[in-house]
Structures are given as C-alpha cells and as structure tokens.
Structure 1
Amino acid sequence: MADGSSRAAPYLGVAAAFRARIADGTWAHGERLPSRGELGAEFGVGENVIRRAQELLITEGLLEGRAGSGTYVRAPYQRRTMVRTPALGVAGIGVTGPGPDATYEADSIAKVPAPPGIAERLAVGADSPCVRTTYEVFADRQPALLATSWEPMSITGGTVIVLPEGGPLAGRGVTARMAHLGITVQKAVETLRPVHVDKDQAQLLGVPAGTQATLIQRTHYSTDGTPVETADLLIPADRWDIAYSIPVGPAT
C-alpha cells in the first residue's frame, strides 16, 4: 500500500528538491529554471512529473510560469499598506493606499439579476435588475485588488448616473452620485473575512490559485436605512496590509 502510494506521487520528491534549491539560493529569485526535459533527465523522471512538481510550487507561490518564456523562481513581494478611507479614493471605492500611481479598469453591465446574497444585502427581491460594475485596480502596473459593485436599478435606472463610470459624474463614487438624485448616503458598513481566491480571481490578481485574500463586503446606506450599493473587494493578503482612516469628531 505504501509502495503504491510512493510510486503514485514521485513529483512530491522532486518538489521537495526544488524547494531546497530555492531555500538555499541554488536557484535565485527571478532565475529561469532549466527546461523540463533537462530537469527530467537530471532527476530520472518524465517531463510530466516535472510539470506536476512545478505546478505544486506555483500554487505555493515559490515559482511562477510566464507564457512563452518558461518557469521562474518567484521574487518575494514587499508588503504594502492599503488605506480604507471615507474619501473618494481610487475608482470611487475608497482606496488610497496603492499610491498616486494607482490606475484602474472598470466595466459595467446593466439589468443583471441580483444573486440571492446580493439581493439580501440590497434589500431587494431576488433577481431584481442591478448594474454590476467590476473593477481591477493596479499599483505600479501590478494587480492590487478586485472589486464588484452592485446598484439596484430601482434607484438609478433611467438616470444619468446609472453607470458608475459613465455620464457626468463618472468615477465620482457612490456618495456624490446618489446626492445627484437627492439621496444622502449616511454610512457604509464593511465586513472583513479571510478567503482563498479561485482560479479566475487568481489569474486577474497574478497570484496562485488558493492564495489567501481578504474579502471586504461593503454596503452603503442612505439616511433612511435603505441600501443603495453593495460591493465585494478582494485584496491579496500576502501583499497588502489593510489600514482604516476613521474620522473622529470632537469629544462631547
């Protein structure tokens, strides 16, 4: 039984050897690994075994594959701080930490049925039409966070602010856009929880699938307690600390 298990997973021994070479500096950060054929000949295994060993270390964050170039030792990331603030911030989602070089891409789709969890957060009926806007935020041209924002079309439909990144208030954020409709946003509530990114999220964030991330579920409320927007912000935990800038009024 044990022998069969050992024969079934020779890539684990190869992966252990790869880890050792990275740990002792034999393979330096940023260095390109030899071809799978060369490594297979060295270790006495087939290229498929080398591929599986490399894939394992890619999921662990020790290696990275570059399309058309090969497999490289991944350089460690320098941790940075992302500041959550009531101010507008990048893409109107309240992020100032990535710095002045931060950029973003956004895409909005109208009349998207609200999934059950989103409908509950927005206090609307299941499948109610919403505008869904996805954001990819970059710092130093590297992915920093993903965000998906939902706004009920019962509030914004048929108005000039229906698209968060279109019209006269494009990119101005939830508070300013809702004010255009005479709605005062009083507060935002955020819930943080640890998650692991899936394959699609990992590809967009440039991290291995399964990497731990911080999920921020945020909802904006008007003065009468009506949810006017909700969003999921996904931030890789191995790269970013999250700090909050919270205004404090005078003592009473």
Structure 2
Amino acid sequence: MPFGEQPAYLRVADDLRQQIANGTLPPHSRLPSQASIRTRYGVSDTVALEARKVLMAEGLVEGRSGSGTYVRERPEPRRICRSGYRTLGESSPFRQEQTDERVRGTWEAHSERAEAGEAIARRLHIEPGDPVMCTRYAFRSGGEIAMLSTSYEPLRLTARTPVMLPEEGPLAGRGVVERMAAIDLVVDNVAEDVLARPALAAEARLLGAVPGHSVLVIARTFRAGSLPVETADVVIPADRYRVGYHLPVR
C-alpha cells in the first residue's frame, strides 16, 4: 500500500467520525447499520464491521444489546491539574493527585501488606518479593469517581513506625511528603511518567467506563534524594479528563 493511503475500513471510520464531530450523527443517535455502511461506501461486510470496531475502540460509539450501535455522549473533558510544588501540611491524598484548589473531593482507601512484583520493585529500588504496604484509592469529585490510584511504600522504611498505614495513625491522610518527614525522610523530588492504555475491566467498572476504552496512567514516584519512598499508578478516564501540569522554571 502506498505511503499515506489508508485501508478502506479506516476511510469509512474517518467519514463516520467526522459526522459525529460535526453533529450529523449527534449523541444518542443510531450509527448506520452494517448493511447501510456496506451499501453507502461500497465496501464489504468485513470492512463495515472493522470500521465500527474502530469507532467503538475510540469510545465514540457503544453497542446496546438487541438494539444497535449508538453515538456516545462526549462531555467536555475536565482538567486534572498536576504541580511541581509540594508543601507540608496541605498534601492530603486527594490534593496530592489534584492540585486545583477550586476542586474539592473525597477519597476511599484500603491498605494491605503485599509483596513487590518485579515492576514495582524496580521503581522502589528493592528486590521482588520484598514487603510493601499497598494502598488502593478511589477519588471522588462531584459525586463520581474521577481517579483510581494504587500506591506502594517499602515496609523496610515504614514498618513499625506511626506512618506504616497511610490512612491510619496520627498522620492519617496527610500525604507522602508530610508522613515521610515524620520519620526523618525529606521528600524533595517526584517523577511522573504518563502513558495511555486500555482500561481493565475492574477499572472500567469503578470509573463508569467501558472495558477497553483508553485511560491515562500517571506512574508517580516520590523520592528523598535518590531513595524512592513511594510509587503509585494513578488511573484517569481519558475521555472525561485531561491532565495539565504547572511546573516551576529555574
């Protein structure tokens, strides 16, 4: 195939996507049937089916059992703010993930002892199988779950200290920076990698999304100097939120 030439199913998907974007196919309207697509574009059933699959994978349409395929509502993405500024005394888990002071939210959390897998061990500079405290969060904003987060802290640093459980004890819910300061670990830098991937079924259920639709994942690690003290994966539905950064310039 010559460079720049699209397969037939992508050309069909492009045209249908444009109709969705310009309102010709508004939210909740039914997508043309497979037979209609075949006739209109002069393509095979296979091409028509693949074009519909593309739109479903992009989250533009959804199938309804026994009814057909419909255009999904596409709300304007809300902004989740990230910041390079971290201060003591103001870093609750929700504020840690959403730095826009105009946004208020709540969170639910559950902690349990676990063993570090290979990927988490690399991020924390520990050995696979080493004990960690795993805490799973669900962050709510405006009544809906906006973000999920799973964090890991090496128990070699926090075991038998007042901050071993992030959501219990004298500094419950105060966030990584303040909690680590209480055990003489000064968190002075944080690294974040942002990637996109399909939502897992369990994530989609909690986020009110469709399994397989895209989520943004922020892989974040707090460090005291070169020592990682916490790492987390923050999961955000890509069709409802965008991530913005506010960083200091030196």
Q: More displaced, 163-172 or 52-61?
A: 52-61
Secondary structure of the residue that 2:146 maps to in structure 1?
A: strand
What displacement does 1:130 show? 0.6
- Percent of aligned positions with the same letter in both sequences? 35
Paired AA for residue 78 in structure 1: E
What displacement does 1:131 show? 0.7
Distance 2:165 2:67 in 1: 40
What displacement does 1:207 show? 5.5
Equivalent residue number for residue 228 of structure 1: 229
What displacement does 1:27 show? 3.5
**Equivalent residue for 2:75, pick from 74, 77, 102:** 77
What displacement does 1:144 show? 2.9
Distance 1:186 1:22 in 2: 47
Distance 1:94 1:44 in 2: 46
Contact between 2:93 and 2:175, CA under 8 Å: does it hold in 1?
A: no
Q: Residue by residue, what CA displacement relative to the aligned partner does 1:32-74 show, whole Å, maximum 9, x if unpaired?
A: 549xxx95787799xxx99987654332121246799986422
**Equivalent residue for 2:218, pick from 215, 218, 221:** 215
Distance 2:248 2:50 in 1: 47
**Structure 1: 5+ residue stretches without partners:** 1-10
**Equivalent residue for 1:153, pick from 152, 155, 159:** 155
Contact between 1:202 and 1:211, CA under 8 Å: does it hold in 2?
A: no
- Structure 2 matches for 1:13-52, cutoff 5 A? 19=17, 22-23=20-21, 25-29=23-27, 31=28, 33=30
Equivalent residue number for residue 60 of structure 2: 62
Equivalent residue number for residue 177 of structure 1: 179
**Structure 2: 5+ residue stretches without partners:** 1-8, 40-46
Equivalent residue number for residue 96 of structure 1: 99
Contact between 1:129 and 1:153, CA under 8 Å: does it hold in 2?
A: yes
- TM-score (structure 1 length as normaliser): 0.69
**1:241 matches 2:239:** no
Distance 1:167 1:65 in 2: 47
Equivalent residue number for residue 167 of structure 1: 169
Large movers: runs of 4+ above 4 Å: 11-21, 38-45, 49-56, 65-72
Paired AA for residue 185 in structure 2: T
Q: Residue by residue, what CA displacement relative to the aligned partner does 1:84-118 show, whole Å, maximum 9, x if unpaired?
A: 231415436342238433232222121x1111122
Contact between 2:196 and 2:215, CA under 8 Å: does it hold in 1?
A: yes
Distance 1:145 1:66 in 2: 26
Secondary structure of the residue that 1:120 maps to in structure 2?
A: helix
What displacement does 1:25 show? 3.1
Distance 1:247 1:16 in 2: 40
Q: More displaced, 100-109 or 66-75?
A: 66-75
Distance 2:65 2:153 in 1: 37
CA RMSD of aligned residues (A): 4.0
- TM-score (structure 2 length as normaliser): 0.69
Distance 2:141 2:67 in 1: 24
Q: More displaced, 50-59 or 153-162?
A: 50-59
Equivalent residue number for residue 113 of structure 1: 115
Distance 2:49 2:244 in 1: 35
What displacement does 1:151 show? 0.7
- Structure 2 matches for 1:124-163, cutoff 5 A? 124-163=126-165
1:125/1:216 Cα in 2 relative to 1: closer, same or farther (>3 Å)? Answer: closer
Paired AA for residue 172 in structure 2: A
Paired AA for residue 190 in structure 1: A
Paired AA for residue 229 in structure 1: E
